[in-house]
Chain A
Amino acid sequence: MFLKAYVSSCGWLMEVKESDKNLRNKTNSSQRKQNKRKEIKREKRREEKRRKRQLRNRNPSRRREREMSVETERSSTESEVSGLDYEETALTLRLPGGTSRVAGSEPDRKRGFSETVELGLGSGAPVGTRGVGSTDDQSDESPESQASVAEKPPAPKARVVGWPPVRSFRKNVMKSCKLVKVAVDGAPYLRKVDLEAYTGYHQLLTALQEMFSCFTIRNYPDEERKLVDPVNGTEYVPTYEDKEGDWMLVGDVPWKMFVESCKRVRLMKSSEAVNLAPRAQHS
């Protein structure tokens, strides 16, 4: 029960088995009445959402003129986005905090805790309109272009709505394509996280912290990051297996490189982590 409450309070959905318990089988007439009431409530809520979505989607021409600045976008739309499109985050294993990414130049940009827990989509920029699918696919485009801007010298053209012509369904599916397993030494269960959902290590660690519910992040002066279980003081070091099969410390390489090469993540007890490659010396 606790788990369920925790899960719903963080806007999570776990794997199928947990959520099976949420499915109700309504068969008798009193439940049918309940259905009807819920249907009306649901319809009202959807209307509200649609209205808010329409307000948010106003004026796509503004989008074309807008500066490619993810920061200002996000700050202006954060409040609109919070709590809406709840179904988007709820239906996948992506974490709250949305799918936005910034250019690879700022992997460690610190974000407030509230930003990461928010049940929203990050840069829900004013886009064209929602046909079939959610607005999230549009919001994802500009931060991604931001990321590629950092690598390509000529500035790209301003984004347009609905181009390239890929359906929202497909865009939404392909967004979560960097799922990696996360295991914690001593915990009996595994989780999967979508690395594409984060913009940097701090976000990832915050998410891990929430996911396994018992850690707090402790930052060491030399930028080492550890997760600590406050109950028994055990320190865990986040490690990952890369494409070559080597186990490395999380945080060693630039974020994008990490996302590219990480195959799975393991929160290793500090005592066992001594065999890993030592941290690269900072010049």
Chain B
Amino acid sequence: MREEISDMSEDDETGERARWAPDLSKNRSDDSDSGPGPPIGDSPPPFSDQVLENVLENVLEFLTSRRDRNAASAVCRSWYRAEAQTRRELFIGNCYAVAPHRAVERFQSIKSVVLKGKPRFADFNLVPFGWGAQFEPWVKSFGAAYQHLERICLKRMSVTDKDLTIIAESFPLFKDLTLICCEGFSTLGLAVIAERCRHLRVLDLIEDYLEDEDDEVVDWISRFPETTTSVESLVFDCVTCPFNFDALERLVARSPSLQRLRVNHHVALEQLRRLMARAPQLTHLGTGTFRSEVGFGEVDPNLDLVSAFGASRSLVCLSGFREIEPEFLPAIYPVCANLTSLNFSFANLTAEELNPVIRQCHNLQTFWVLDSVGDEGLRAVAESCRDLRELRVFPLDPTEDSDSSVSDIGLQFISEGCRKLRSILYFCQRMTNAAVVAMSKNCPDLVVFRLCIMGRHLPDRITGEPMDAGFRAIVMNCKKLTRLSVSGLLTDKAFEYIGCYGKLIRTLSVAFAGDSDGGLRYVLEGCTRLQKLEIRDSPFGDASLISGLPFYYNMRFLWMSSCNLSMRGCKEVARNKPNLVVEVIRDAVEEEEEEIEAVEKLYLYRSLAGARTDVPAFVKIL
């Protein structure tokens, strides 16, 4: 399911995630302005050293963790060279942190690239369209340099059909294309990939936005090679336009390695059954919708569906379920006990409808659901899924003053039942400190805690106090916490606690919180591992921004929007830190010529590349 995305956003470094190579830019030492290593292109070493270097290269082949590689490259020139020769996976957490040509000069035998573009708040329409993160300069550099490139994974980049064509033309061994939250391409680009990447194994399109006109949709599914393919994963639930179902069925039939298939919402149950019959070996299935395409008085396909699921012995992950018709849910009972991952987050289910399903999912580790199931539904989850590691509860009605059926009660249930919980994202309208404290005590393994109380500035619903105490407990008790999102009524005290106890926090998201500059200051000074800080609508001003000067080189980025920043403060930061790119973003297409003193959006990030050259009119780099 979405294990890949959630891990991508955490950038964490367990053994199994080692395939993500780390930041290309500097080492992670405190406050030292260390460069990227010895200069490239010095004279070749003497023979004995060359032998040593060859030995070292053989050893370094086994080193996959990017942090370890960064450390190894800093030992001496010889190690730097050896490491550069042997790095196979390139991870660039901010596409503007380094120029493409520089990456390509240093690392010459890359097989896998991970590249991230826009700041995360772009997902919520806070970054104007056309801001940047074009993939084009990168694909051109890679195309020229990396003949053996097999894998490209992009997140929040702008990718055009032309870029996809360059991929298809440049990399004869290309195997894996994963696009997450990208935009700018269409089914035309997909057709080129399908047709020309003969060794394609993975085509994963996750929450992308395709630019298709309805009358210009291309039948990309038909373009896969007619012979047996090596496709292992095909995910396209975000491709909203219709596709050629018969072609997909044939493709599935001739793809014996297919393990993961997630279709879009143009697939009804009758068609799903046909696909499942062709691919009983699937491990991950996205059903698209979960409704019948026929109307009254037609044959009920339910029976066939049951046998289809019954035959899918390998299914461990189910998703899709859009436009769900709950009467068909019993069909999935045969696989429930094997499921480790279940995504109901597009299924409007009540607790009664969820209950019989979830009761059977004893082995569930990842569960995404809508708040329509209510606190009662979460109680069933807590009682049934003792091994749960990740829970996400999304709002059915994602507006500020909607009636959410989940609350602190549901959170309490979960904390009591799912003791092994590591990651939680919880949208609600009402919360209490007590429930958050309970979770902090019951689930000490929490690595990710994201609570979104949708009403702004809402206090504890029972005591009326700010939510400071709850978050204090989280940072105190959850000693492995690396990612935190706060919400509700919060004073500077909350940030004091976060700075004091949140020593491992790498990503912090703040919205509508805090009283004064002190709040931000606590965080900047206290959270020594902070990498990504995104803040919106909070009363932090220039003084707090400037207090962070010693720390910005240790961070990937800082985003602040609708705070109390001014040009004076931002300019001072830019002046003081030459290797920081300080972008002031206005909302698109404003006509005023004179400079506005108040800064609406600030995005600053460390960079070896200096000010970027593709800046649109509404962005000013200080």
Residue of B nearest to A154 (CB): B401
Q: Does residue B525 face the partner (Cβ distance < 8 Å to A)?
A: no
Residue of A nearest to B591 (CB): A58
Contact with B along A161-176 (1 / 0, CB 8 A): 1111111111101101
Cα-based distance from A161 to B294 in the complex (angstroms): 40
Q: Does residue B71 face the partner (Cβ distance < 8 Å to A)?
A: no
B346–A174 CB distance below 8 A: yes
Query: Using Cβ atoms and an 8 Å threshold, which residues of chain B touch A16?
Result: 242, 245, 266-268, 271
Query: Using Cβ atoms and an 8 Å threshold, which residues of chain B touch A156?
Result: 400-401
Cα-based distance from A46 to B323 in the complex (angstroms): 30
Q: Does residue A234 face the partner (Cβ distance < 8 Å to B)?
A: no
A22–B588 CB distance below 8 A: no
B129–A58 CB distance below 8 A: no
User: Among A72-80, A125-133, A225-233, which stretch is in contact with chain B?
Assistant: A125-133
Shortest B592–chain A CB gap in Å is 11
Query: Using Cβ atoms and an 8 Å threshold, which residues of chain A touch B128?
Result: 54, 57, 128-130
Cα-based distance from A163 to B271 in the complex (angstroms): 37
Shortest A236–chain B CB gap in Å is 16
Q: Does residue B42 face the partner (Cβ distance < 8 Å to A)?
A: no
Cα-based distance from A46 to B452 in the complex (angstroms): 35
A183–B397 CB distance below 8 A: no
Cα-based distance from A128 to B561 in the complex (angstroms): 12
B183–A91 CB distance below 8 A: no
Shortest B289–chain A CB gap in Å is 9
B295–A181 CB distance below 8 A: yes
Cα-based distance from A181 to B600 in the complex (angstroms): 47
B346–A128 CB distance below 8 A: no
Contact with B along A182-204 (1 / 0, CB 8 A): 01000001100000000000000
Contact with B along A13-37 (1 / 0, CB 8 A): 1011001101111100000000100
Evaluate whether A145 and B401 lie within 8 angstroms (CB atoms) in the complex, with A24-B218, A86-B214, A162-B125 already known: yes
B241–A144 CB distance below 8 A: no
Shortest B563–chain A CB gap in Å is 13
Q: Contact partner of A60 among B244, B427, B587, B589, CB < 8 A?
A: B587
A166–B395 CB distance below 8 A: yes
Evaluate whether A177 and B587 lie within 8 angstroms (CB atoms) in the complex, with A91-B241, A131-B124 already known: no
Shortest A239–chain B CB gap in Å is 13
Q: Does residue A209 face the partner (Cβ distance < 8 Å to B)?
A: no
B219–A25 CB distance below 8 A: yes
B452–A91 CB distance below 8 A: no
A165–B589 CB distance below 8 A: no
A133–B399 CB distance below 8 A: no
Evaluate whether A165 and B295 lie within 8 angstroms (CB atoms) in the complex, with A24-B218, A25-B222, A171-B398 already known: no
Q: Does residue B396 face the partner (Cβ distance < 8 Å to A)?
A: yes
B122–A148 CB distance below 8 A: no
Residue of B nearest to A144 (CB): B399
Residue of B nearest to A15 (CB): B293
Contact with A along B400-429 (1 / 0, CB 8 A): 111100000000000000000000000100
Query: Using Cβ atoms and an 8 Å threshold, which residues of chain B touch A15?
Result: 266, 293
Query: Using Cβ atoms and an 8 Å threshold, which residues of chain A touch B121?
Result: 131, 162
B219–A128 CB distance below 8 A: no
Contact with B along A232-273 (1 / 0, CB 8 A): 000000000000000000000000000000000000000000
Cα-based distance from A169 to B2 in the complex (angstroms): 15
Q: Does residue B322 face the partner (Cβ distance < 8 Å to A)?
A: yes
Cα-based distance from A19 to B219 in the complex (angstroms): 11
Query: Using Cβ atoms and an 8 Å threshold, which residues of chain A touch B188?
Result: 35, 39
Shortest A160–chain B CB gap in Å is 7
Query: Using Cβ atoms and an 8 Å threshold, which residues of chain A touch B238?
Result: 169
Shortest A157–chain B CB gap in Å is 7
A50–B130 CB distance below 8 A: yes
B589–A22 CB distance below 8 A: no
Q: Does residue B240 face the partner (Cβ distance < 8 Å to A)?
A: yes
Q: Contact partner of B240 among A46, A92, A131, CB < 8 A?
A: A92
Evaluate whether A91 and B218 lie within 8 angstroms (CB atoms) in the complex, with A156-B400, A157-B400, A164-B454 already known: no
Contact with B along A131-162 (1 / 0, CB 8 A): 11110011001001100100010001101111
Chain B: interface residue total (CB-CB under 8 A): 77
Cα-based distance from A157 to B182 in the complex (angstroms): 32
Cα-based distance from A80 to B572 in the complex (angstroms): 41
Cα-based distance from A59 to B600 in the complex (angstroms): 11
Q: Does residue A38 face the partner (Cβ distance < 8 Å to B)?
A: yes
Query: Using Cβ atoms and an 8 Å threshold, which residues of chain B touch A133?
Result: 125, 209
B125–A138 CB distance below 8 A: yes
Q: Does residue B394 face the partner (Cβ distance < 8 Å to A)?
A: yes
Q: Contact partner of A170 among B265, B294, B398, B537, CB < 8 A?
A: B398
A174–B122 CB distance below 8 A: no
Q: Does residue A179 face the partner (Cβ distance < 8 Å to B)?
A: yes
Cα-based distance from A161 to B456 in the complex (angstroms): 13
A130–B129 CB distance below 8 A: yes
Q: Contact partner of A26 among B123, B218, B243, B271, CB < 8 A?
A: B218
Q: Does residue A103 face the partner (Cβ distance < 8 Å to B)?
A: no
Query: Using Cβ atoms and an 8 Å threshold, which residues of chain B touch A176?
Result: 323
Q: Contact partner of B125 among A45, A128, A164, CB < 8 A?
A: A128
Cα-based distance from A157 to B399 in the complex (angstroms): 12
B129-177 with Cβ < 8 A to chain A: 129-130, 156, 161
Shortest A267–chain B CB gap in Å is 13
Q: Does residue B62 face the partner (Cβ distance < 8 Å to A)?
A: no
Shortest B84–chain A CB gap in Å is 34
Residue of B nearest to A90 (CB): B214
24 pairs, A vs B, C-beta closer than 8 Å: A13-B214, A15-B266, A16-B245, A22-B214, A23-B242, A39-B161, A46-B211, A59-B590, A128-B125, A129-B125, A131-B121, A132-B183, A145-B400, A145-B401, A159-B400, A162-B126, A163-B124, A163-B454, A165-B511, A166-B124, A169-B238, A170-B345, A177-B323, A183-B296
Give A residues with C-beta under 8 Å from B: 8, 13, 15-16, 19-20, 22-26, 35, 38-39, 42, 45-46, 50, 53-55, 57-60, 86-87, 90-92, 127-134, 137-138, 141, 144-145, 148, 152, 156-157, 159-171, 173-174, 176-177, 179, 181, 183, 189-190
Give B residues with C-beta under 8 Å from A: 118, 121-130, 156, 161, 181-183, 186, 188, 207-209, 211-219, 222-223, 238, 240-246, 265-268, 271, 293-296, 322-323, 345-346, 348, 370, 394-403, 427, 452, 454, 456, 511-512, 536-537, 587-590
Further 12 A-B residue pairs, CB within 8 A, beyond A60-B587, A164-B452, A166-B398: A15-B293, A23-B222, A24-B219, A50-B129, A131-B123, A132-B183, A133-B209, A141-B400, A161-B125, A164-B427, A167-B207, A176-B323
